[in-house]
Amino acid sequence: MDEAGRNSGLFYAIYQFDKCLLALLPMLSKKTKYAIKALVALGKNVDQPPMQILRLAQQEMIPRKFLEQILLDLKNAGYLYSKKGAGGGYSLNKDPRDIYLADILRITDGPIAMVPCASLKFYRKCDECHDERTCGIRKSFIDVRDATLNVLTHTSVADVIARENEPDPNTLDI
């Protein structure tokens, strides 16, 4: 086999390996998805009075009790402001351009890395690992973590709002 054949075979093997890794990626939790949906709704409501939980829950189709806990977590992390009483509700405590998805994911779900030994902020050595320096699993999932972080640390709530009006490249116009 010539050099080009070996390289294309290697490329195909890497491509297949990457597809397998992607198939292992967990789905976004409902808690994180609801947190992002709530922040997007509040981001669109920036120049308006605070939004009541009931209205936000109904508008975004989020169970109210679950939303209350999510909003409390986001408030405790400094992302939301709450006002009690008549005309009360929640509003953003930061500009939507300064709220990044990576931060929200960490608040709602913890580590972004899929294995503890690849985590930047929640690192833990794997019990079954013999040598982290030579562990191919760890190295592969560090690559996955880095690619994921590259997107999440550069995508703000304002970016998500802006993308709502973009055409979806994954759908066909017929």
What does the DSSP assignment read for the chain? --HHHHHHHHHHHHHHHHHHHHHHPPPPPHHHHHHHHHHHHHHHTTTSSPBPHHHHHHHHT--HHHHHHHHHHHHHTTSEEEE-STT-EEEESS-GGG-BHHHHHHHHH--SSSSGGG-SSS----TT-S-GGG-HHHHHHHHHHHHHHHHHTT-BHHHHHHHTTS--TTS---
**Positive or negative, the Cα torsion across 114, 119, 121, 123?**
positive
Rounded CA-CA distance 130/44 in Å is 50
Please give the Cα distance from 32 to 15 (Å, whole number).
29
- Measured in degrees and rounded to the nearest 5, phi and psi for residue 92 equal -70, 140
Q: Residue 44 has what pLDDT?
A: 95
Contact call for residues 112 and 119 (beta carbons, < 8 A): yes
Whether pLDDT at 1 is above 60: no
Contacts of residue 135, Cβ cutoff 8 Å, sequence gap at least 6: 117, 126, 129
pLDDT in tens, 33-62: 999 999 999 999 998 999 999 999 999 999
The span from the CA of 143 to the CA of 48, in Å, is 42
pLDDT of residue 80: 97
User: Do 104 and 36 form a contact (C-beta atoms < 8 A)?
Assistant: yes
Residue ranges and CATH numbers for the domains of the chain are 30-96 (1.10.10.10)
Say whether pTM exceeds 0.85. Answer: no
Q: 154 or 174: whose pLDDT is higher? A: 154
pLDDT tens digit string along 99-158? 999 999 999 998 888 888 888 888 888 888 888 888 888 888 889 889 989 999 999 999
First to last CA, the chain: 44
